Amino acid sequence: MNQIQGYVESKLVSFLMNLHITPRSIYLVRHGESMNNAERKLGGDPELSERGKRYLPKLKKFFDDEKGSGAVNEKTKLFTSTLKRSVETAKVIEIGAKPASFKILDELDAGVCDNMTMDEVEKKYPAEWKARLTDKLKYRFPMGESYIDLVHRIEPIIFTIERSKEPVIVVKSLSL
């Protein structure tokens, strides 16, 4: 490193210093549909919907097949957010590895807009709605987070995944 200046350059150097060339699989798994997803509400910590529960046997079969082929095993790292929908989804992945839940993998915090539909946000907080439409990346929900905040929050787990020499499965809530 020589004369590294600026945020992007520093992040790039940090990432490159943690790279390794060991081939392994990284599975990014979205949780099953939650009750809030079905109602088009932001965030919350609801249970899986019936549709979300119907997804679980298909996910289980996929990872049973992956285990059968040797692609995943008891050394595979299984990470999940702390949200009910992600934890419940991860439980069906039976590869011999115990899931590890991390708050930093939780969904974007919608602050005062949590558990609201986007229509409700538009009606109750019209200025916030407009600000979010103007710059979704930098927009921070009142008493919540922006996507920039989310990127900073998940950075440690990204480095943990990158340093892993074993396959990694991440069961994550989808951010807005």
Check pLDDT > 60 for residue 175: no
| CB contact at 8 A, 142 and 112 | yes
Q: Is the dihedral of CA 43, 100, 49, 56 positive or negative?
A: positive
Binning pLDDT at 50, 70 and 90, where does residue 158 land?
confident
What pLDDT is recorded for position 6? 67
| CB contact at 8 A, 166 and 79 | no
pLDDT in tens, 45-59: 999 999 999 999 999
Note whether residue 15 is domain-resident: yes
Residue-averaged pLDDT of the chain: 89
Note whether residue 1 is domain-resident: no
What pLDDT is recorded for position 172? 85
Alpha carbon distance 85, 108 (integer Å) = 14
The CATH number given to whatever domain includes residue 125 is 3.40.50.1240
Choice between 11 and 157, residue whose per-residue pLDDT is larger: 157
What pLDDT is recorded for position 1? 61
State the total domains in the chain. Answer: 1
Note whether residue 36 is domain-resident: yes
| CB contact at 8 A, 162 and 18 | yes
Note whether residue 26 is domain-resident: yes
What pLDDT is recorded for position 23? 80
Rg (CA), the chain: 18
pLDDT in tens, 3-15: 666 666 676 777 6
What pLDDT is recorded for position 10? 72
Note whether residue 38 is domain-resident: yes
What pLDDT is recorded for position 61? 97
Note whether residue 163 is domain-resident: yes
Note whether residue 78 is domain-resident: yes
Of 2, 42, 5, 10, which is closest to residue 155 (Cα–Cα)?
10
Structure-token pair, residue 149: 């905040």
Note whether residue 2 is domain-resident: no
Query: 153 lies in which domain range?
Result: 7-172
Quick one: average pLDDT of 96-108?
92
